[in-house]
Structure 1
């Protein structure tokens, strides 16, 4: 077996080496084709069968060995043999050669490559397993990669050889026809002026627009295929129905109503979704109350004497509800009805891609947007069902002081609420399974947060695995394992902050064939379409970035694609998604951080500016933190930014815009920032990058010029230039 493979490798290598050693590629060029066209035609007339046979064998060899020149040979077939004969010849030769390359790749490399690079080939393998024939047909009709790469890579997948052959035969036919037709026009070219003849121009126009037409045709076929099992209504009640009145549903229906479509918004609970009622709004209101308490505790440091703050916990939690009621009108039924959205209260169920049932009534619609968000994850831990607990959805019902508060989870929700409740007087213990808080953030950012948590009296227990809950004599306990030993943690109040699970089940989606991933999230493509093309998904239900601003961002794409997709579809732009954890200090992010860049093996440079050097941060006594910018080595193009500090969520916006618009650090450095403000930190970070890339050789010549202009002698070397901060003063 090994000897056979070795021999085959040697033969293939020898043939490829011989091809280049003899410079045979010179004969596979457009110039050579035109120069020898008359000789080829004469030989073909005298030896038609021999010419056809030799051309066929040569084409098979070129394709099988993945040599350059197949495209030129396809043009040559049209020029030498005409449209019909050239098409038949190339169609079979290309398919046979492609299959030979496929078989060689499979025989020599599939087992070894799959064993070693299975993760990298995951997309191909999944595509073949899910819909192998159509997947290959798409690649053949609209090649995302050169055909020779498709031949070799498909040989590494489980697809059957006979399936590969006939799909290649059919899938390449349309493209072959366009190329051969172009070749027939080249065959008629007698002079350079003939290059502008209508036939040749049309042929090359077809070459340019064929991939676009093929992709559009494939989209139509795919859509009809996905919807073929469902009867189409004679008419529709709505152009778009959104399920879920969080940010995704609100924005998608708002856009639909703005462009005069008839839209409906269905919500079974409260308008505004998680963000208004249990997420962003109440948590930030609570954090603000906690910050006021902390400001009072720190007042003595600025010479303001007073008593320690007395926290009325019930009033604090009721004030949070007051804030929710003030924001409610922004997301209310009245407002959205006034905007032209029909708001329906009830639990929705998708009956078909065209029908949604709510309150016993069936609504017909051309498009459906699923924006049902996510719910807190509740772990399957022994004894948890015997212990009262809160989640980020239910903690706002709490009116009595939490006492000893146990928080499970070290992500953004767990960290924000841990610190807020600690500042309001709770005795907080935060238990993590991992090695540190906020695992998605860089270690240097987390270190600052950990210091502040310790200052606020929060006990953070890392690498503690939950084992069971128990209640003994009315005392609640969590038993954890830490370094092989059991650890008992007593608590009065339990808060679960272990992440969120998409709300995609129970809507009837699985029953009509909508695909969910293993986490239960709705699977969508780059246009936010599910596998049923008129059902879209936005926000947390898709399992991606679980942020309100991301759901709103995606909702625009979903609404526009749903309502106007027959004319043009827009790929959702997730390149520049910022987020912020609202601890004190805040941690804001956009793009890559250091640990992600290393994991992805992306080359980068790091530039830092520390908040303790910023005048406004000093006056505010908010000196903890930094601005850290990752850039392309030697360039000012921004790869990502992490900001730790007061109001980091506001400061990150400048970098979000810069990355979105392709602006580098030089542009930020050249922008006037008000003094003294926290936003100057962004400018100073850009200044740090500029100093690190100072053109020292040029400055030596500039120094010599200034010495010459003074007409006298100067020290042997120039003094160092002032810093950006010093210069600004």
Structure 2
């Protein structure tokens, strides 16, 4: 077995691992990256990019279906060619993966080690049966994988995860989606709009990542207008028969229903890939799920020489967060023992459903947990159903809630479902990161007619409730009609 002595060893070659490698190399020459699977990152291969390609195809169909609302009537039946849809998804997906691989190819061959690493102790790794690595510092950036209940394995190849969807050559006839989270909502709605029969089941009443009960109730109602969604389903039986899966469940009216579907899509969460690292051989403190705990500003674990980043950290499993965490972890591993807090940006997340869902800063649940039952914050709201630009585009569905602190008037966060929520969320995230007050945000320019005017309406409602401004005027003269 070959033995290497290195300054920094990075376990994992995804978004966080690549970021950690580049950051560590700025301080140390002797850095290696260990990867047992394919390079290309979860985002490029099976995550955010291929899912957006499927969503884009679904949106094209939806625009045609909405055209009669404008007095435009497409002639003939809409033909959805599933093979052509999936061919484009895979071709473009491969292009995105190729961009990542180009960056990997630039890394010197001697810095890349193929295989799966396991800990021997705090500073020693064994990669498969061929390399022993003595590392002064180690970064864990092993990512995550889909997780589902073990009994579902009896469904065989009729059980799929999001990874499998993007390898389809054609679209199936029907799919039951379990898990109305980010992945389930995006893929489920897209498949429905592309002609696939979709039913969706959840547990505990959760819809997407939302925590605000008002916004969540709106989302539940809106999705149910397109397909059957029970966020707190009672599924009594799920068995495979031939090439289909038969499901018996109690519907929302209390009646027993039976359906047969081609596939069951498990969108029931992801598990950090740390369970096969033999981390029990280290001194790291672990959380209840067996994941190493880490300082969110330095990414340092309880063992000073070990850092963790990306989905493996069990913090925010988002690409931009993984990239930031990787840079912070790699920088600190490279400059050790000169540990420094890295830039952590205001939280921002989005679900690319239609309408989109987005969350910024502190969530409703985080605020109420932190402040308890005291009347220390207020909520401003706007409905997009009557908002001018949204109605012009026939995209007038959604609700936006913004939260502000009593006394200071500081903007705390927001949860929303609405048109262009991804763009509204960016504006609000910039305001949150700059610690702006509601009054300061209202001093910013708003054009007319734009969807962003809805943000101003919500902010004015909030400012009035904080007793920092006048009550909202129903027909404001400094705004255009329908703002």
TM-score, length-scaled by structure 2: 0.87
Instruction: Within 5 Å, give how 1:54-203 maps onto structure 2.
Output: none
- Paired residue secondary structure (2:166): helix
For residue 393 of structure 1, what is the aligned residue in structure 2? 163
Number of corresponding residues = 471
Select the residue among 257, 261, 269 that pairs with 1:499.
Answer: 269
For residue 284 of structure 1, what is the aligned residue in structure 2? 52
The answer on 1:725 being equivalent to 2:479 is yes
Deviation at 1:664, TM superposition (A): 1.6
- Paired residue secondary structure (1:381): helix
Once the two structures are superposed, residues 157-206 of structure 1 have per-residue CA deviations (whole angstroms, 9 ceiling, x without a partner) of xxxxxxxxxxxxxxxxxxxxxxxxxxxxxxxxxxxxxxxxxxxxxxxxxx
For residue 445 of structure 2, what is the aligned residue in structure 1? 672
**CA distance, structure 2, for counterparts of residue 680 and residue 485 of structure 1:** 44
Contact conserved, 1:383 with 1:468, CA < 8 A, in 2? no
For residue 111 of structure 1, what is the aligned residue in structure 2? none
For residue 330 of structure 2, what is the aligned residue in structure 1? 559
Deviation at 1:570, TM superposition (A): 1.6
Instruction: Within 5 Å, give how 1:456-605 maps onto structure 2.
Output: 456=226, 458-472=227-241, 475-480=244-249, 487-526=257-296, 527-570=298-341, 573=344, 576-600=346-370, 601=372, 603-605=376-378
Contact conserved, 2:126 with 2:132, CA < 8 A, in 1? yes
Select the residue among 374, 395, 404 that pairs with 1:631.
Answer: 404
Deviation at 1:239, TM superposition (A): 2.9
For the structure 1 residues 537 and 619, does the alpha-carbon distance in structure 2 shift closer, same or farther, using more than 3 Å as the test?
Answer: same
For the structure 1 residues 324 and 257, does the alpha-carbon distance in structure 2 shift closer, same or farther, using more than 3 Å as the test?
Answer: farther
Q: Which has the higher contact order (CA 8 A, sep 6+)?
A: 2
Deviation at 1:453, TM superposition (A): 2.3
Contact conserved, 1:244 with 1:273, CA < 8 A, in 2? no
Contact conserved, 1:561 with 1:568, CA < 8 A, in 2? yes
For residue 685 of structure 1, what is the aligned residue in structure 2? 458
For the structure 1 residues 400 and 727, does the alpha-carbon distance in structure 2 shift closer, same or farther, using more than 3 Å as the test?
Answer: closer
- Paired residue secondary structure (2:163): coil
Gaps of 5+ in 1: 1-234, 698-718
For residue 49 of structure 1, what is the aligned residue in structure 2? none
For the structure 1 residues 468 and 694, does the alpha-carbon distance in structure 2 shift closer, same or farther, using more than 3 Å as the test?
Answer: closer
Once the two structures are superposed, residues 517-560 of structure 1 have per-residue CA deviations (whole angstroms, 9 ceiling, x without a partner) of 33232222343222322111112212222212221122222122
The answer on 1:296 being equivalent to 2:69 is no
For residue 182 of structure 2, what is the aligned residue in structure 1? 412
* Structure with the higher helix share, 1 or 2: 1
For residue 21 of structure 2, what is the aligned residue in structure 1? 253
Deviation at 1:493, TM superposition (A): 1.3
Deviates more, 1:525-534 or 1:676-685: 676-685
Contact conserved, 1:687 with 1:724, CA < 8 A, in 2? no
**CA distance, structure 2, for counterparts of residue 327 and residue 586 of structure 1:** 23
**CA distance, structure 1, for counterparts of residue 256 and residue 396 of structure 2:** 40
For the structure 1 residues 387 and 627, does the alpha-carbon distance in structure 2 shift closer, same or farther, using more than 3 Å as the test?
Answer: same
**CA distance, structure 2, for counterparts of residue 377 and residue 344 of structure 1:** 27
For the structure 1 residues 368 and 578, does the alpha-carbon distance in structure 2 shift closer, same or farther, using more than 3 Å as the test?
Answer: same
For residue 134 of structure 2, what is the aligned residue in structure 1? 364
Contact conserved, 2:448 with 2:480, CA < 8 A, in 1? no
Gaps of 5+ in 2: none
**CA distance, structure 1, for counterparts of residue 180 and residue 482 of structure 2:** 41
For the structure 1 residues 511 and 467, does the alpha-carbon distance in structure 2 shift closer, same or farther, using more than 3 Å as the test?
Answer: farther
- Paired residue secondary structure (1:623): coil
Deviation at 1:507, TM superposition (A): 2.0
Contact conserved, 2:122 with 2:281, CA < 8 A, in 1? no
The answer on 1:425 being equivalent to 2:195 is yes
- Paired residue secondary structure (1:518): coil
- Paired residue secondary structure (2:292): coil
Deviation at 1:513, TM superposition (A): 4.2
For the structure 1 residues 533 and 595, does the alpha-carbon distance in structure 2 shift closer, same or farther, using more than 3 Å as the test?
Answer: closer
For residue 91 of structure 1, what is the aligned residue in structure 2? none
- Paired residue secondary structure (2:177): strand
Once the two structures are superposed, residues 321-360 of structure 1 have per-residue CA deviations (whole angstroms, 9 ceiling, x without a partner) of 122222224321x424536793343323333433333361
Deviation at 1:694, TM superposition (A): 5.7
**CA distance, structure 2, for counterparts of residue 271 and residue 588 of structure 1:** 29
For the structure 1 residues 374 and 433, does the alpha-carbon distance in structure 2 shift closer, same or farther, using more than 3 Å as the test?
Answer: same
